[in-house]
Amino acid sequence: MAKVRDIAVVCGDGIGQEVIPIAREVLSCLHPEFEFFPVEVGYGRWKRTGEAMGADELALLKSADAILFGAVTTPPSPDYQSVVVRIRKELDLFANVRPVKGDGFDITVVRENLEGLYSGIEEVGENRATTLRLLTRRECERIARFACSITGPRTLTVGHKANVLKSDVFFREICLHEASVAGVKCNERFIDALCLDVLLHPASYDVIVTTNMFGDILSDVAAYLVGGLGMLPSANIGEDYALFEPVHGSAPDIAGQGVANPVAALRSAALLLRYAGDISGADAVEHAIQQVFSGGIRTRDLGGSAGTKEFGDAVLYELGLKGTT
Ligand code: ATP
């Protein structure tokens, strides 16, 4: 259990500005002793200052016990480096944990978070562009051991494309070896078939470990099971730091309208509570979200008409932290 008191809050860009204040309010109502401090990072800061994250912001993030993170826009430009990828590397957040939970299934996607196709080793030339898919023994072992540690008596599935990619032959062998050392039940699937099978038979899966880009795609696909991207939280875990963020991005198409679904952000706050050892607080947030759904309140992406704030207020009300909605 981690000691958590100081929490860095990065709203970031787009709907991050709308959903993170809701998650923060729930955390501060449940834990008045938490100290929050804002950190400005992202495309908005880049447009204002020419830098998406400065040394001061990085130091602030490192000074926090935990980070609540919204979303940052990453324009597809050769001169712009993804700030969230940089933060993951600077803070050595090697494991990205994405729970996908619904009626009759409880899947956790564990995504290697530092290398693979996000190695940052790339080059764009006149007639050729390359991105190096780097997998090191150290990171494969680290992510495999982490996945085994959270699998326990359940089953670990290794998602890979070892029939085509030599780097995945390497990844697969390390994962299978670590599972056997840990005594964890383990099977494997090709990642493309796995994306379909997770949708067809979600109850067949417990923990899935995979490489960086495959994990990103798999978790977006799995979002279909629970109503879309507005629903899925994630935890980025390292040895010394932890960052909690919705799986979704900044959603520029709906930003500024007050209609974004705050559930992914609220669930990310619940993961932060779990990390801090407040399991009953985390369960209460999850339960409150279900109660709000049962009461028929939903945001637009789920076919309802509630706004972001209205949904957040309803969750606070269910938690007994606010008067009538
Ligand atoms: P980015 O460039 O920051 O990754 P994006 O628009 O490419 O942003 P996402 O933000 O992940 O990608 O979202 C894709 C689409 O899913 C959005 O355009 C939006 O329509 C929908 N969406 C994502 N998150 C939410 C949410 N919390 N509530 C409602 N709709 C959402």
Q: Are 244 and 272 in contact (CB under 8 A)?
A: yes
Tokens at 133, concatenated: 């898919």
- Concerning whether 220 is annotated as a catalytic residue, the answer is yes
What's the CA-to-centroid distance between 201 and ligand 1, angstroms?
Answer: 26
For 247-292, the pLDDT digits (tens) are 999 999 999 999 999 999 999 999 999 999 999 999 999 999 999 9
pLDDT bin (cut points 50, 70, 90) of residue 324 is low
How many beta carbons lie within 10 A of that of residue 82, not counting itself? 15
Contacts of 90 (CB under 8 A, 6+ apart): 58, 61, 62
Which is nearest to 28 in space by CA: 289, 285, 291, 311?
Answer: 285
Q: Supply the pLDDT for residue 137.
A: 98
Q: Supply the pLDDT for residue 260.
A: 98
Domain boundaries, the chain: 1-93+238-325, 99-228
Tokens at 301, concatenated: 């992406």
Q: What's the Cα-to-Cα distance from 143 to each of 150, 163, 211, 243, 324, rounded to whole Å? A: 11, 21, 9, 17, 45
184: helix, strand or coil: coil
Which residue out of 118, 205, 241, 275 is catalytically annotated? 118
Q: Are 259 and 299 in contact (CB under 8 A)?
A: yes
Residue linked to tokens 């759904």: 293
Judged against a pLDDT cut of 90, whether residue 74 lies above it is answered with: no
Q: Do domains 1-93+238-325 and 99-228 have the same CATH topology?
A: yes
Q: What is the mean pLDDT of residues 80-103?
A: 94
Candidate CATH numbers 3.30.930.10, 3.30.540.10, 3.40.50.300, 3.40.718.10; the one for domain 99-228: 3.40.718.10
Q: What is the mean pLDDT of residues 45-54?
A: 91
Tokens at 149, concatenated: 């540690």
Of all residues in the chain, what percent carry a pLDDT higher than 90?
92
What's the CA-to-centroid distance between 248 and ligand 1, angstroms?
Answer: 5
Q: Supply the pLDDT for residue 77.
A: 77
For 210-235, the pLDDT digits (tens) are 999 999 999 999 999 999 999 999 99
How many beta carbons lie within 10 A of that of residue 123, not counting itself? 10
For 109-153, the pLDDT digits (tens) are 999 999 999 998 999 999 999 999 999 999 999 999 999 999 999
In whole angstroms, give the CA distance from residue 68 to residue 300. 24
CATH number at 1-93+238-325: 3.40.718.10
Of all residues in the chain, what percent carry a pLDDT higher than 70?
99
Residues within a 6 A CB radius of ligand 1: 15, 19, 71, 73-74, 229-230, 248-254, 260-261, 264, 301
- Concerning whether 192 is annotated as a catalytic residue, the answer is yes
- Determine the straight-line distance between the first and last CA of the chain, rounded to whole angstroms: 35
- Summary mean pLDDT of the chain: 95
Q: Supply the pLDDT for residue 320.
A: 87
According to DSSP, the residues that pair with 158 across neighbouring strands are 188, 209
According to DSSP, the residues that pair with 203 across neighbouring strands are none
How many beta carbons lie within 10 A of that of residue 118, not counting itself? 22
Which residue out of 13, 43, 65, 161 is catalytically annotated? 161
* DSSP secondary structure string for all residues of 113-182: -SSBTTS--EEE-SS-EEE--B--HHHHHHHHHHHHHHHTTSEEEEEE-TTT-HHHHHHHHHHHHHHHHH
Judged against a pLDDT cut of 80, whether residue 323 lies above it is answered with: no
Q: Supply the pLDDT for residue 82.
A: 85
